[in-house]
């Protein structure tokens, strides 16, 4: 069983991994921490970008000879294959670590746990697995389903409107919510909107104002879905990031094309018609809703007709984060999680 020291090291490895979200596709984000014989941290690393050294290699490089007889703590099972870099399993053996602790099994089938065990290394898996899967949620979904992970973002009034009756929508939510959306953009490979939203709002869809004030080190691919034409001076054509036009695509075919481009995570930012199309197609994996304490009473709703006609057909979500951002509330939820049915059947009187 993993010690408290190893669990703390794993939390550090997860923090390291999360810092590279948006830069490693089609690879996963991975963090690694090396402990010496006494349990002190002597090396840290993460997979910074596709084609670069893996997390274990970076951490072992920092640790040097202090890794001998120590423990490598890694957020994902060390690889056992040669691609752009050599097998991490061989690097760990060459460093003479005595123990390897990792969180999530590699679903691609090229993990090196078996190799390490056969060489006499003590290997423990599943440490902080749930937290690690959340960090690598997009990549794991892409590997398992063969398409990009889809994160649907909605920003609404308290009564579920995304714009007023006259179509105005800037700004329903506050500055902290908008900064948090820039964080989401920074963590994904692509941001997608429909042509209706692009015409109404003229969004740039670039990363600009991160919550911590840091400067963005990359920009996601901008994807425009729909058949309507945009003016030449649209901000989506400002050259600040690459823009892809998908005029004849369904949500499924759009995801197929993006997957072929190496995209493993997509943030769908609307509008209601595009959001409903992805929901109706069963292609949403996570939903984040930013709710502002505003009542509009009329105007378009956050989701258009998604083909849901009865409560039994409702898309069930499993919330795993509720946060207050200024005066707004952000609810983030996985799709398809277990739903509390304790009050089912009690009706409106409950």
Place of tokens 């050599």: 86
> Which ranges of the chain does DSSP label H, i.e. alpha helix?
4-18, 55-63, 88-94, 113-118, 129-135, 137-145, 175-186, 195-201, 251-260, 272-280
**Six token digits for residue 25:** 């596709």
Which CA distances in Å does 69 have to 10, 62, 121?
Answer: 18, 15, 10
Asked if 18 and 103 touch (Cβ cutoff 8 Å), the reply is no
Residue 271, C-beta contacts closer than 8 angstroms, at least 6 positions apart:
162, 193, 194, 196, 197, 200, 300
Residue 81 burial by CB count (10 A; 0-12/13-18/19+): exposed, middle or buried? middle
Residue 86, C-beta contacts closer than 8 angstroms, at least 6 positions apart:
none
Pairing between β-strand 265-268 and β-strand 317-325 as defined by DSSP bridges: unpaired
**Residues found in the chain:** 350
Is the torsion defined by CA of 158, 162, 167, 169 positive or negative? positive
Catalytic site residue from 6, 48, 56, 58: 56
Distance CA 78, CA 106 (A): 8
Is the torsion defined by CA of 294, 296, 299, 305 positive or negative? positive
Is 56 catalytic? The answer is yes
Q: What is the CA radius of gyration of the chain?
A: 22
Distance CA 237, CA 52 (A): 30
Positions marked active-site: 56
């Amino acid at each position: 069983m993993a010690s408290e020291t190893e669990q703390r090291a794993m939390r550090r490895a997860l923090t390291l991994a999360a810092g590279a979200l948006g830069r490693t596709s089609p690879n996963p984000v991975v963090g690694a921490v090396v402990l010496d014989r006494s349990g002190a941290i002597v090396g840290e690393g993460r997979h910074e970008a596709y084609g670069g050294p893996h997390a274990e290699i970076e951490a072992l490089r920092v640790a040097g000879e202090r890794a001998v007889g120590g423990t490598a703590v890694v957020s994902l099972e060390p690889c056992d294959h040669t691609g752009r870099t050599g097998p991490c399993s061989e690097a760990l053996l060459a460093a003479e670590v005595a123990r390897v602790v990792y969180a999530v099994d590699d679903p691609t089938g090229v993990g090196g746990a078996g190799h390490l065990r056969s060489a006499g290394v003590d290997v423990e898996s599943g440490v902080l697995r749930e937290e690690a899967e959340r960090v690598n949620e997009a990549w794991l979904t892409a590997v398992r389903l063969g398409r990009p992970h889809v994160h649907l973002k909605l920003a609404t009034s308290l009564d579920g409107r995304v714009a007023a009756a006259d179509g105005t929508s800037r700004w329903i939510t506050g500055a902290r919510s908008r900064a948090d959306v820039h964080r989401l953009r920074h963590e994904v490979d692509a941001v997608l909107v429909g042509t209706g939203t692009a015409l109404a709002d003229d969004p740039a869809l670039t990363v600009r104002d991160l919550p911590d004030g840091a400067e963005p080190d990359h920009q996601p691919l901008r994807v425009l879905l729909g058949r309507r034409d945009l003016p030449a001076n649209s901000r989506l054509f400002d050259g600040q990031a690459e823009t892809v036009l998908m005029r004849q695509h369904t949500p499924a075919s759009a995801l197929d094309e993006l997957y072929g481009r190496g995209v493993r995570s997509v943030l769908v930012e609307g509008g209601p018609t595009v959001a409903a199309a992805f929901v109706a197609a069963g292609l949403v994996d996570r939903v984040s809703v930013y709710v502002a304490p505003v009542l509009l009473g009329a105007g378009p709703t956050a989701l258009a007709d998604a083909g849901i006609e009865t409560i039994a057909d409702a898309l069930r979500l499993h919330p795993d984060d509720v946060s207050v951002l200024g005066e707004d509330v952000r609810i983030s939820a996985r799709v398809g999680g277990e739903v509390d049915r304790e009050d089912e059947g009690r009706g409106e009187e409950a």
